[in-house]
Structure 1
Amino acid sequence: KDVVLPRALDDNTFAALNQLQFFNNVQIISSLTNDVQFLQGLRDKLMEEGATAEQLLEALKLLQELCAVTKTLQLYHRSAFYRKVVEHGYFVPLAGFLSRPEPALRLAAIDVLLSSTLHDPSLLRAHVLQQRPDATMLRALLKVLTSDDASGEKPQITEVLRALLDPESMEGREQDDFLNLFYESHVHELA
C-alpha cells in the first residue's frame, strides 16, 4: 500500500483510500471494544489450559494486531480499547506467556504489554499494584529481563519497565506505592 499505490494513484485517490482505511479501523475497534462476548472469548482463549502453543499464538497475534491498529487511532478510541482490555483481565494471561518456553509467545505478549504501556503506563501499574504483595506481572517482567536466553526480548522489556518506573508519568499516591513496591520487594531480582 505505501510503496505501490502512491506511484499508481493520484494524491486525492490515495488520500481517500487512507481515509477509508482509517474509518474502517475506527469502526472495527469500536465494535470489538463494545462486544463483551468477543472480549471475554478472546481472553478465555488466551487462558485456555488445553490449548496448543499454536492456538495460543493465533489468539495472541489477534490481540497484538488489534493493539497495532489502535496506534493509528485517536486517543479516545485507543483509551476505550485499552480500558476494556484491562477490565476483561488480559494482563493475567499475558504475565503467564512471559514464562512460556516458546519465544514467539513471549515476544507477542511483550509487544502487547509495550503497546499498552506506551499508551498509558498507569493501566499496567494499577494491575501490578492490585497483585500485591505477589506482583506476578512485575516478577515475570524481571525474570525475562534477567534470563540468559531472552536477549531479543530484553530491549522491549526494558522499555516496558522504563515506562512503568517513570516518575513523571505517575501521580502522587501511585508513585509512592509503585516505587515502594519495586524498590522494597523486587529490585533485588535485578542483581
Structure 2
Amino acid sequence: MKKLFSFLFLILFFAACAGNDGTELTIEIDAETPQDEFFANLLELCDNTFVGESTYPVDPPHEELGDVELRATIATCTEVEVRIPFHAGEDESRTFVFSRSDEGLHLRHDHRYPDGSQHDITDYGGWANDQGTSTRQYFEADDQTVEMIPEAETNVWMIELQMEEGMLIYNLERHGEPRFRAELEKVQD
C-alpha cells in the first residue's frame, strides 16, 4: 500500500511539473467576468506561436515594425500571469505581460535591451475596461503610463483572440485614432 501511494505521488508530481517539453499543461481558472474568460482563452493558447505583420504602421515610432515579420509566442502561463515575447524581425526586446488580480486584468509592455536590462520606457500599459469580451479586451492607459509617457494618456490597446480562425490581433489607438495594428496567424504544428 505504501508503494502504491509513493507511486501515485510520483505520477502526480511529474504531471504537475509538465510544461514546455511538449506535454500538456492545463491551468483552470474560475471565469466569472469577461476579463477572466479572456485570460482563460490566453491560457488555452499557451505554447502557441503567431506570425504576421503590421497592417497599420503609419505612425513614425512604429515604422521599424512595418517591414519585418512579427512573431508572438504565448510562452509562460500561470494562474495569474501570461507572458508573450513579441519579436519584430531580429528585435526581441518586447514582451506583453497579462496579469490577473483582484483589481482586474492588466496589460504591460516589458521592453529590454539585448543584455536583459530594462529600457528607459518600459512597463507601460493599462487595465482592461468593462467593454471587453471573452475574446477581445480593451486596456486603457494607467497612471504609471501617463506619468512615463504623457502623450499616451488616451492610449487604448485592444487585444483580440480569434480562436477559431487562429488569429491574434494587437491594436493601439491614441486620441481615438488608429496608431498601430498587427495581425498574426497561428503557426500550425
TM-score with structure 1 setting the length: 0.26
Higher percent of residues as strand: 2
TM-score with structure 2 setting the length: 0.26
